[in-house]
Amino acid sequence: MNVLFLTIGQIPDLHTPSVHIDLIRELRKSGHEVSVLCTREKRLGLPTELSEEDGVKILRLRIGNLTKCSMIEKGINTVLIEGQFKRAIRKYFGADRYDLVIYNTPPITLAGAVKYAKRKFRCRSYLILKDIFPQNAVDIGIMSTSGISGLLYKLFRRKEIQLYSASDRIGCMSRANKEYLLRHNPYLEEKNVEIFPNAVFSDTLSHRRKKDRSLLEKYGIAADRPVFIYGGNLGKPQGLEFFAEALKGISDKIDCSFVIAGSGTEKEKFFKAVNGLKNVYPINYLPYEEYENLCASCDVGLVMLDYRFTIPNYPSRILSYMENAMPVLACTDPNTDVKELVEEEAVCGKWCPSNDVDAFAESVRWFAENTDKFTELGGNGRKYFEENFVADKNIEKLEKFINERRA
Protein backbone atom coordinates (compact mmCIF):
# COMPACT_ATOMS: atom_id res chain seq x y z
CA MET A 1 0.00 0.00 0.00
CA ASN A 2 1.00 3.65 -0.44
CA VAL A 3 1.07 5.60 2.82
CA LEU A 4 1.20 9.33 3.53
CA PHE A 5 2.40 10.01 7.08
CA LEU A 6 1.70 13.44 8.61
CA THR A 7 3.44 14.58 11.79
CA ILE A 8 4.51 17.83 13.43
CA GLY A 9 7.47 15.89 14.78
CA GLN A 10 10.86 16.82 13.38
CA ILE A 11 12.70 14.02 11.58
CA PRO A 12 16.41 14.84 11.19
CA ASP A 13 17.04 11.48 9.51
CA LEU A 14 15.62 7.97 9.33
CA HIS A 15 18.27 6.37 11.52
CA THR A 16 17.63 8.09 14.85
CA PRO A 17 15.16 5.82 16.65
CA SER A 18 11.80 7.30 17.68
CA VAL A 19 8.26 5.96 17.67
CA HIS A 20 7.54 7.90 14.45
CA ILE A 21 10.69 6.91 12.61
CA ASP A 22 10.44 3.28 13.72
CA LEU A 23 6.91 3.06 12.29
CA ILE A 24 8.10 4.55 8.99
CA ARG A 25 11.03 2.13 8.79
CA GLU A 26 8.79 -0.84 9.64
CA LEU A 27 6.38 0.16 6.87
CA ARG A 28 9.26 0.26 4.37
CA LYS A 29 10.63 -3.05 5.62
CA SER A 30 7.18 -4.57 5.04
CA GLY A 31 7.28 -3.49 1.40
CA HIS A 32 5.01 -0.44 1.54
CA GLU A 33 5.65 2.88 -0.19
CA VAL A 34 5.89 5.75 2.30
CA SER A 35 5.81 9.53 1.98
CA VAL A 36 6.29 11.76 5.02
CA LEU A 37 5.26 15.34 5.76
CA CYS A 38 7.10 16.52 8.87
CA THR A 39 8.15 19.96 10.11
CA ARG A 40 11.01 22.37 10.59
CA GLU A 41 10.45 25.16 13.07
CA LYS A 42 11.28 28.69 11.98
CA ARG A 43 13.87 29.11 14.74
CA LEU A 44 16.10 26.50 13.06
CA GLY A 45 16.65 28.84 10.11
CA LEU A 46 16.17 26.09 7.50
CA PRO A 47 13.89 26.20 4.44
CA THR A 48 11.19 23.78 3.32
CA GLU A 49 12.98 20.83 1.70
CA LEU A 50 11.82 17.78 -0.27
CA SER A 51 14.13 14.76 -0.45
CA GLU A 52 14.19 10.99 -0.79
CA GLU A 53 15.98 8.97 1.88
CA ASP A 54 16.15 5.17 2.03
CA GLY A 55 13.27 4.96 -0.42
CA VAL A 56 11.08 7.33 1.62
CA LYS A 57 9.88 10.64 0.18
CA ILE A 58 10.25 13.25 2.95
CA LEU A 59 9.00 16.83 2.96
CA ARG A 60 10.37 18.91 5.81
CA LEU A 61 7.96 21.85 5.95
CA ARG A 62 9.04 25.13 7.48
CA ILE A 63 6.42 26.23 10.03
CA GLY A 64 6.24 28.64 12.96
CA ASN A 65 7.82 27.81 16.29
CA LEU A 66 6.09 25.27 18.53
CA THR A 67 8.86 24.79 21.09
CA LYS A 68 11.11 27.19 23.00
CA CYS A 69 8.59 29.97 22.49
CA SER A 70 5.72 31.63 24.35
CA MET A 71 2.38 29.89 24.83
CA ILE A 72 0.71 32.54 22.66
CA GLU A 73 3.16 31.97 19.79
CA LYS A 74 2.78 28.22 20.12
CA GLY A 75 -1.03 28.47 20.14
CA ILE A 76 -1.17 30.63 17.02
CA ASN A 77 1.29 28.44 15.12
CA THR A 78 -0.58 25.28 16.13
CA VAL A 79 -3.79 26.64 14.61
CA LEU A 80 -1.94 27.65 11.41
CA ILE A 81 -0.55 24.13 10.83
CA GLU A 82 -3.80 22.85 9.34
CA GLY A 83 -3.69 25.23 6.38
CA GLN A 84 0.07 24.84 5.93
CA PHE A 85 -0.23 21.05 5.72
CA LYS A 86 -3.14 21.23 3.32
CA ARG A 87 -1.20 23.49 0.94
CA ALA A 88 1.91 21.30 1.24
CA ILE A 89 -0.08 18.15 0.36
CA ARG A 90 -1.50 19.89 -2.70
CA LYS A 91 1.88 21.23 -3.87
CA TYR A 92 4.28 18.39 -3.09
CA PHE A 93 2.13 15.24 -3.05
CA GLY A 94 -0.75 16.18 -5.35
CA ALA A 95 0.40 13.99 -8.24
CA ASP A 96 0.83 10.90 -6.06
CA ARG A 97 -1.62 8.16 -5.10
CA TYR A 98 -2.21 6.97 -1.54
CA ASP A 99 -4.25 4.23 0.08
CA LEU A 100 -3.83 5.49 3.62
CA VAL A 101 -3.05 8.74 5.43
CA ILE A 102 -1.65 8.31 8.95
CA TYR A 103 -1.26 11.12 11.49
CA ASN A 104 -0.88 11.49 15.22
CA THR A 105 -1.69 13.80 18.10
CA PRO A 106 -0.41 16.27 18.95
CA PRO A 107 -1.73 18.41 17.39
CA ILE A 108 -5.52 18.12 17.08
CA THR A 109 -5.68 20.78 14.36
CA LEU A 110 -5.10 18.61 11.28
CA ALA A 111 -8.72 17.72 10.51
CA GLY A 112 -8.89 20.02 7.47
CA ALA A 113 -5.68 18.59 6.01
CA VAL A 114 -6.85 15.02 6.66
CA LYS A 115 -10.23 15.63 5.01
CA TYR A 116 -8.47 17.19 2.02
CA ALA A 117 -6.14 14.17 1.66
CA LYS A 118 -9.05 11.73 1.92
CA ARG A 119 -10.98 13.50 -0.81
CA LYS A 120 -8.01 13.99 -3.14
CA PHE A 121 -6.57 10.50 -2.86
CA ARG A 122 -9.84 8.68 -2.06
CA CYS A 123 -7.98 6.99 0.76
CA ARG A 124 -8.66 5.93 4.32
CA SER A 125 -7.41 7.74 7.43
CA TYR A 126 -5.79 6.46 10.62
CA LEU A 127 -5.23 8.56 13.75
CA ILE A 128 -2.56 7.47 16.22
CA LEU A 129 -3.85 9.01 19.44
CA LYS A 130 -0.82 9.75 21.62
CA ASP A 131 -2.46 12.23 23.96
CA ILE A 132 -5.93 13.62 24.63
CA PHE A 133 -5.94 17.39 24.31
CA PRO A 134 -7.35 19.77 25.51
CA GLN A 135 -8.46 17.75 28.56
CA ASN A 136 -4.86 17.00 29.55
CA ALA A 137 -4.18 20.75 29.69
CA VAL A 138 -7.27 21.27 31.86
CA ASP A 139 -6.19 18.51 34.24
CA ILE A 140 -2.88 20.17 35.14
CA GLY A 141 -4.17 23.74 35.23
CA ILE A 142 -2.80 25.04 31.92
CA MET A 143 -6.33 25.61 30.58
CA SER A 144 -9.78 26.09 32.08
CA THR A 145 -13.26 25.16 30.87
CA SER A 146 -14.66 28.51 32.03
CA GLY A 147 -13.85 32.20 31.67
CA ILE A 148 -11.59 33.57 28.92
CA SER A 149 -9.53 30.38 28.94
CA GLY A 150 -12.77 28.47 28.51
CA LEU A 151 -13.25 30.00 25.06
CA LEU A 152 -9.89 28.57 24.02
CA TYR A 153 -10.86 25.20 25.49
CA LYS A 154 -14.11 25.16 23.48
CA LEU A 155 -12.20 26.03 20.28
CA PHE A 156 -9.74 23.18 20.77
CA ARG A 157 -12.47 20.78 21.87
CA ARG A 158 -14.29 21.44 18.58
CA LYS A 159 -11.02 20.82 16.72
CA GLU A 160 -10.60 17.57 18.65
CA ILE A 161 -14.07 16.34 17.68
CA GLN A 162 -13.46 17.32 14.04
CA LEU A 163 -10.23 15.31 13.99
CA TYR A 164 -11.84 12.22 15.52
CA SER A 165 -14.75 12.49 13.09
CA ALA A 166 -12.36 12.71 10.12
CA SER A 167 -10.61 9.50 11.20
CA ASP A 168 -11.78 6.16 9.80
CA ARG A 169 -9.83 4.35 12.51
CA ILE A 170 -8.31 5.58 15.80
CA GLY A 171 -5.41 3.76 17.44
CA CYS A 172 -5.06 4.27 21.20
CA MET A 173 -2.02 3.73 23.40
CA SER A 174 -3.71 1.35 25.85
CA ARG A 175 -6.94 -0.27 26.97
CA ALA A 176 -7.72 2.52 29.46
CA ASN A 177 -6.98 5.08 26.77
CA LYS A 178 -9.49 3.44 24.44
CA GLU A 179 -12.16 3.19 27.12
CA TYR A 180 -11.74 6.86 28.04
CA LEU A 181 -12.01 7.96 24.42
CA LEU A 182 -15.24 6.03 23.82
CA ARG A 183 -16.77 7.12 27.13
CA HIS A 184 -16.20 10.83 26.47
CA ASN A 185 -16.95 10.72 22.73
CA PRO A 186 -20.12 8.59 22.41
CA TYR A 187 -20.50 9.44 18.72
CA LEU A 188 -17.51 7.18 17.97
CA GLU A 189 -18.18 3.55 17.06
CA GLU A 190 -16.21 1.05 19.11
CA LYS A 191 -15.36 -1.02 16.02
CA ASN A 192 -13.38 1.97 14.70
CA VAL A 193 -11.22 2.31 17.81
CA GLU A 194 -8.40 -0.12 18.62
CA ILE A 195 -5.20 -0.37 20.62
CA PHE A 196 -2.12 0.80 18.71
CA PRO A 197 0.72 1.22 21.26
CA ASN A 198 4.05 2.93 20.85
CA ALA A 199 6.44 0.40 19.37
CA VAL A 200 10.02 0.06 18.11
CA PHE A 201 11.51 -1.05 14.79
CA SER A 202 11.80 -4.85 14.86
CA ASP A 203 15.40 -4.89 13.59
CA THR A 204 16.60 -3.12 16.74
CA LEU A 205 15.73 -6.08 18.97
CA SER A 206 19.00 -7.83 18.19
CA HIS A 207 21.07 -4.83 19.30
CA ARG A 208 21.12 -5.10 23.08
CA ARG A 209 22.98 -2.39 24.96
CA LYS A 210 25.48 -3.49 27.56
CA LYS A 211 25.49 -2.29 31.15
CA ASP A 212 28.64 -0.20 31.54
CA ARG A 213 29.09 1.15 35.06
CA SER A 214 32.11 3.18 33.94
CA LEU A 215 29.61 5.53 32.25
CA LEU A 216 28.23 6.34 35.68
CA GLU A 217 31.71 7.26 36.87
CA LYS A 218 32.06 9.55 33.84
CA TYR A 219 29.16 11.63 35.16
CA GLY A 220 30.29 11.40 38.78
CA ILE A 221 27.40 9.13 39.76
CA ALA A 222 27.90 6.83 42.74
CA ALA A 223 27.66 3.34 41.22
CA ASP A 224 28.18 1.23 44.34
CA ARG A 225 24.44 1.22 45.03
CA PRO A 226 21.18 0.87 43.06
CA VAL A 227 20.90 3.63 40.46
CA PHE A 228 17.48 4.97 39.49
CA ILE A 229 17.09 7.02 36.30
CA TYR A 230 14.41 9.35 35.02
CA GLY A 231 14.91 10.36 31.39
CA GLY A 232 12.77 12.42 29.07
CA ASN A 233 10.52 15.44 29.27
CA LEU A 234 10.79 17.68 32.32
CA GLY A 235 7.52 19.58 32.02
CA LYS A 236 4.24 20.10 33.82
CA PRO A 237 2.81 16.65 32.93
CA GLN A 238 5.53 14.97 34.99
CA GLY A 239 4.43 16.42 38.33
CA LEU A 240 7.93 17.67 39.13
CA GLU A 241 7.01 19.54 42.30
CA PHE A 242 6.01 16.24 43.86
CA PHE A 243 9.11 14.54 42.44
CA ALA A 244 11.38 17.17 44.00
CA GLU A 245 9.59 16.88 47.34
CA ALA A 246 9.89 13.09 47.25
CA LEU A 247 13.61 13.23 46.47
CA LYS A 248 14.21 15.67 49.31
CA GLY A 249 12.60 13.20 51.68
CA ILE A 250 14.86 10.27 50.82
CA SER A 251 18.07 11.55 49.22
CA ASP A 252 20.14 11.04 52.40
CA LYS A 253 18.04 8.26 53.96
CA ILE A 254 18.15 5.44 51.40
CA ASP A 255 21.40 4.15 49.94
CA CYS A 256 20.77 4.69 46.23
CA SER A 257 21.45 7.18 43.43
CA PHE A 258 19.00 9.16 41.28
CA VAL A 259 19.92 10.29 37.78
CA ILE A 260 17.67 12.91 36.15
CA ALA A 261 18.42 13.43 32.45
CA GLY A 262 16.19 15.46 30.18
CA SER A 263 14.86 18.82 29.12
CA GLY A 264 11.58 20.69 29.16
CA THR A 265 9.75 23.79 30.30
CA GLU A 266 10.17 23.00 34.00
CA LYS A 267 13.77 21.76 33.87
CA GLU A 268 15.48 24.82 35.34
CA LYS A 269 12.95 25.11 38.14
CA PHE A 270 13.23 21.41 38.94
CA PHE A 271 17.03 21.32 38.80
CA LYS A 272 17.13 24.29 41.16
CA ALA A 273 14.77 22.51 43.57
CA VAL A 274 16.98 19.40 43.78
CA ASN A 275 20.31 21.21 43.63
CA GLY A 276 22.66 20.00 46.36
CA LEU A 277 20.61 16.94 47.33
CA LYS A 278 22.80 14.00 48.24
CA ASN A 279 22.79 11.16 45.68
CA VAL A 280 20.70 13.16 43.16
CA TYR A 281 22.43 13.83 39.82
CA PRO A 282 20.73 16.25 37.40
CA ILE A 283 22.12 16.00 33.87
CA ASN A 284 21.34 18.33 31.00
CA TYR A 285 19.95 16.99 27.73
CA LEU A 286 22.11 14.24 26.18
CA PRO A 287 22.31 13.08 22.54
CA TYR A 288 20.18 10.00 21.91
CA GLU A 289 22.96 7.38 21.84
CA GLU A 290 24.69 8.81 24.89
CA TYR A 291 21.46 8.87 26.88
CA GLU A 292 20.46 5.34 25.89
CA ASN A 293 23.89 3.98 26.88
CA LEU A 294 23.66 5.77 30.21
CA CYS A 295 20.13 4.50 30.74
CA ALA A 296 21.14 0.90 30.07
CA SER A 297 23.88 1.22 32.68
CA CYS A 298 21.45 2.17 35.45
CA ASP A 299 19.34 -0.26 37.46
CA VAL A 300 15.75 1.01 37.75
CA GLY A 301 13.75 3.23 35.37
CA LEU A 302 11.43 5.90 36.76
CA VAL A 303 8.12 6.96 35.19
CA MET A 304 6.57 10.17 36.56
CA LEU A 305 3.11 11.64 35.87
CA ASP A 306 1.13 14.39 37.60
CA TYR A 307 -1.50 12.98 39.98
CA ARG A 308 -4.20 15.36 38.69
CA PHE A 309 -4.56 13.68 35.31
CA THR A 310 -8.02 12.29 34.62
CA ILE A 311 -6.94 11.02 31.19
CA PRO A 312 -5.03 7.71 31.07
CA ASN A 313 -1.56 8.69 29.81
CA TYR A 314 0.80 5.93 28.67
CA PRO A 315 4.38 7.29 28.69
CA SER A 316 6.60 6.06 25.84
CA ARG A 317 9.66 6.34 28.08
CA ILE A 318 8.75 3.03 29.71
CA LEU A 319 9.64 1.25 26.45
CA SER A 320 13.29 2.19 26.81
CA TYR A 321 13.43 0.70 30.29
CA MET A 322 11.73 -2.53 29.25
CA GLU A 323 13.88 -2.81 26.13
CA ASN A 324 16.97 -2.57 28.35
CA ALA A 325 15.55 -5.21 30.73
CA MET A 326 15.35 -2.74 33.62
CA PRO A 327 12.86 -2.92 36.48
CA VAL A 328 10.41 0.00 36.54
CA LEU A 329 9.11 2.23 39.31
CA ALA A 330 6.02 4.04 38.00
CA CYS A 331 4.77 6.99 40.03
CA THR A 332 1.55 8.21 38.42
CA ASP A 333 -2.09 9.18 38.75
CA PRO A 334 -4.55 6.32 39.35
CA ASN A 335 -6.36 6.75 36.02
CA THR A 336 -3.60 5.44 33.78
CA ASP A 337 -3.25 1.69 33.37
CA VAL A 338 0.53 1.87 33.75
CA LYS A 339 0.00 0.34 37.20
CA GLU A 340 -1.59 -2.74 35.63
CA LEU A 341 1.17 -2.91 33.02
CA VAL A 342 4.01 -2.79 35.54
CA GLU A 343 2.60 -4.89 38.37
CA GLU A 344 0.20 -7.34 36.70
CA GLU A 345 0.77 -7.70 32.95
CA ALA A 346 4.54 -7.38 32.54
CA VAL A 347 5.35 -7.94 36.23
CA CYS A 348 8.42 -5.76 35.83
CA GLY A 349 8.33 -3.45 38.82
CA LYS A 350 6.22 -1.42 41.23
CA TRP A 351 3.68 1.41 41.15
CA CYS A 352 2.90 4.16 43.63
CA PRO A 353 0.58 7.20 43.51
CA SER A 354 2.26 10.48 42.59
CA ASN A 355 0.80 12.39 45.52
CA ASP A 356 2.18 10.23 48.35
CA VAL A 357 5.76 10.93 49.40
CA ASP A 358 5.76 8.09 51.92
CA ALA A 359 4.59 5.57 49.30
CA PHE A 360 7.35 6.72 46.96
CA ALA A 361 9.94 6.31 49.71
CA GLU A 362 8.59 2.86 50.57
CA SER A 363 8.82 1.78 46.91
CA VAL A 364 12.38 3.06 46.56
CA ARG A 365 13.37 1.28 49.76
CA TRP A 366 11.87 -1.96 48.43
CA PHE A 367 14.08 -1.78 45.35
CA ALA A 368 17.13 -0.91 47.43
CA GLU A 369 16.54 -3.95 49.63
CA ASN A 370 15.68 -6.39 46.81
CA THR A 371 18.45 -5.96 44.26
CA ASP A 372 18.47 -9.73 43.81
CA LYS A 373 15.09 -9.41 42.04
CA PHE A 374 16.34 -6.95 39.39
CA THR A 375 17.30 -9.62 36.85
CA GLU A 376 13.95 -11.38 37.09
CA LEU A 377 11.89 -8.18 36.91
CA GLY A 378 13.97 -6.78 34.06
CA GLY A 379 13.70 -10.06 32.17
CA ASN A 380 9.92 -10.03 32.59
CA GLY A 381 9.77 -6.52 31.17
CA ARG A 382 11.98 -7.40 28.21
CA LYS A 383 9.85 -10.46 27.38
CA TYR A 384 6.64 -8.41 27.52
CA PHE A 385 8.25 -5.71 25.39
CA GLU A 386 9.20 -8.20 22.67
CA GLU A 387 5.68 -9.63 22.63
CA ASN A 388 3.74 -6.36 22.66
CA PHE A 389 5.78 -3.29 21.69
CA VAL A 390 7.40 -4.21 18.36
CA ALA A 391 6.24 -2.23 15.31
CA ASP A 392 5.59 -5.20 13.02
CA LYS A 393 2.44 -5.96 15.01
CA ASN A 394 1.18 -2.43 14.35
CA ILE A 395 1.88 -2.83 10.63
CA GLU A 396 -0.30 -5.92 10.63
CA LYS A 397 -3.14 -3.83 12.08
CA LEU A 398 -2.73 -1.19 9.36
CA GLU A 399 -2.69 -3.84 6.64
CA LYS A 400 -5.80 -5.47 8.07
CA PHE A 401 -7.51 -2.07 8.18
CA ILE A 402 -6.78 -1.40 4.50
CA ASN A 403 -7.75 -4.93 3.44
CA GLU A 404 -11.15 -4.51 5.14
CA ARG A 405 -11.97 -1.89 2.50
CA ARG A 406 -10.75 -4.02 -0.38
CA ALA A 407 -12.68 -7.11 0.71
Q: Which fold has domain 2-199+390-406?
A: Rossmann fold (3.40.50)
384, 322 contact by CB (below 8 A): yes
- In degrees, rounded to 5, the angle at the alpha carbon of residue 361 between the alpha carbons of residues 238 and 295 is 55
> Residue 32 carries which DSSP code?
-
Helix/strand/coil for 308: coil
Q: What is the pLDDT along the chain (407 residues), one digit of tens a residue?
A: 999 999 998 898 898 888 889 999 999 999 999 999 999 999 999 999 999 999 999 999 999 988 877 878 888 888 899 999 999 999 999 999 999 999 999 888 899 999 999 999 999 999 999 989 999 999 999 889 998 888 989 999 999 999 999 999 999 999 999 999 999 999 999 999 999 999 988 877 766 677 888 889 888 898 889 999 999 889 899 999 999 999 998 977 888 999 999 888 899 999 999 999 989 999 987 888 888 899 999 999 999 999 999 999 988 889 989 999 999 999 999 999 999 999 999 999 999 999 999 999 999 999 999 999 999 999 999 999 999 999 999 999 999 999 886 65
Query: How many angstroms separate the CA atoms of 365 and 387, rounded?
Result: 30
CA dihedral 273, 276, 281, 284 (to 10 degrees): 60
Instruction: Give domain limits for the chain.
Output: 2-199+390-406, 205-387
Q: Does domain 205-387 have CATH number 3.40.50.2000?
A: yes
Global pTM value: 0.91
Query: How many angstroms separate the CA atoms of 245 and 91, rounded?
Result: 52
